[in-house]
Structures are given as structure tokens and as C-alpha cells.
Amino acid sequence: MSPKDISRRKFIKNLGGGVVGAGVAIQTLSAKTRKESKPPSKSDSAVALTFTVNKKPITLLVEPESTLADVLRNDLKLTGTKVVCNHGECGACTVLLDGRAVYSCHMLALDAQGKSVTTIEGLMDGEKLHPVQEAFVEHDGLQCGFCTPGQVMAAEAILIKNPKPGKEEIIEGMSGNLCRCAAYPNILKSAVAAAEKLNKS
């Protein structure tokens, strides 16, 4: 193919790296996610994974190439964790690994061997919402809600590290979570309110 045959369309379709705006990246990459989801049958190559998910010890067989998000969603049916870009670019799949925020779509499930994973489902206390979740409800920290589990987990990670974060620290800590609805002002308000809530209780 000669350089001039590259139409703009083709160009955008093939764009993997994150140099253009998030909107474009998310739109193109979600097609990839669909292509990659596979039936849950296990082949001979499956390996045992033992880890803790939401405080419960779990052992299961996983394919080495499964991402942590695949295993959480497809095997453990913890579908609160969302996969949007599947490329470590948007934060929708954020979970806590030993208390730190990570992108579950962009790491292998086997990397969680022996570790502790917390998903959005793990924040609830029975039917009672976690203070961070409450704050998002009270301050309308969402529009379509698709990025919300990731936003909540990112906020929780900030509070685990520092129960009294400043606003700058919150902005910085949430910077790996994109929101396609651009609900950013209320997301920030919710995260700030969550910090205040935790410090009151």
C-alpha cells in the first residue's frame, strides 16, 4: 500500500496508541473488545489461579491469555467491572489489586495469583452502599453510568492511600478514568464528598 492510499478513515480505524482524543479512541477500541470475548470453555492450557476476590478465597482454571477483567466478568460473573477500551486507556475496568487501582483489562488474570482483588461488588456491605457509592448517588456523579464503577474504584483507591486527600490529589488520582459523558464536575464533587463523608464517620 502506498502512503497516499491511507484514507483518513483507515487511519483512524487502525489507531491503537492514545495520541488523539479519548472519544475517538473509545469508539474504535470497543469493536476490539467484542472480537476478543470468547466462550468460557477451558482448554488443556488452562492454569490454576488462586486469589482473593472481594474477601473470598477463589481457585479456578484460567487461560494464560485471559485478562483479569475477562475472569471477573466471564468466570466469576462480576459484571460490575466494565470493559470499554480494553487497552488500558479509559479506566472503566478499574479494580483494586492489593489495595491499589489497576486496569483489569490490561493485566493477565495470572498476575493476580496470590493477591487480593476488590471490585465494585466488593464495596457494598450487603445491600448497603459504600460511602463512596453514596457520594456518587448524592452528588449525581454520573450520566450514563458506564464509567461509574471505575470512577468509584479510583476514588476508593485514593482514599485508601490517603484518607484526607486534597482536591489536587483527587484530581490527579482520578486522571486515569475517562468519562465519555464528560460528567467530570460532578464526578469530582462526588469524590471530594466521599472523602469528607469518610472523615466524618
Ligand X SMILES: Cc1cc2nc3c(=O)[nH]c(=O)nc-3n(C[C@@H](O)[C@@H](O)[C@H](O)COP(=O)(O)OP(=O)(O)OC[C@H]3O[C@@H](n4cnc5c(N)ncnc54)[C@H](O)[C@@H]3O)c2cc1C
Q: Which residues bind other proteins (CB under 8 A)?
A: 1-4, 6, 11, 13-19, 21-22, 32, 36, 45, 47, 63-65, 67, 86-89, 91, 94, 97, 100-103, 106-108, 110-111, 154, 157, 172-173, 175-178
Cβ neighbours around 66 below 10 Å, total: 22
Residue 46 makes CB contacts below 8 A (sequence gap 6+) with 61, 62, 63
Q: Considering just the CA atoms, what is the radius of gyration of the chain in Å?
A: 18
The yes or no reply on residue 144 touching ligand FES (CB under 6 A) is: yes
Q: What does the alpha-carbon distance between residue 137 and residue 9 come to, in Å, rounded to a whole number?
A: 39
The yes or no reply on residue 132 touching ligand FES (CB under 6 A) is: no
State which of residues 22, 75, 88, 145 lies at the interface with ligand X (CB under 6 A).
88
**CA 33 to chain CA mean position, Å:** 14
- Residue 183 binds which entry of other proteins, ligand X, ligand FES, none, with Cβ cut-offs from 5 to 8 Å by kind? ligand FES
The yes or no reply on residue 6 touching ligand FES (CB under 6 A) is: no
Q: What does the alpha-carbon distance between residue 146 and residue 80 come to, in Å, rounded to a whole number?
A: 9
For residue 107, the minimal CB distance to ligand X (Å) is: 9
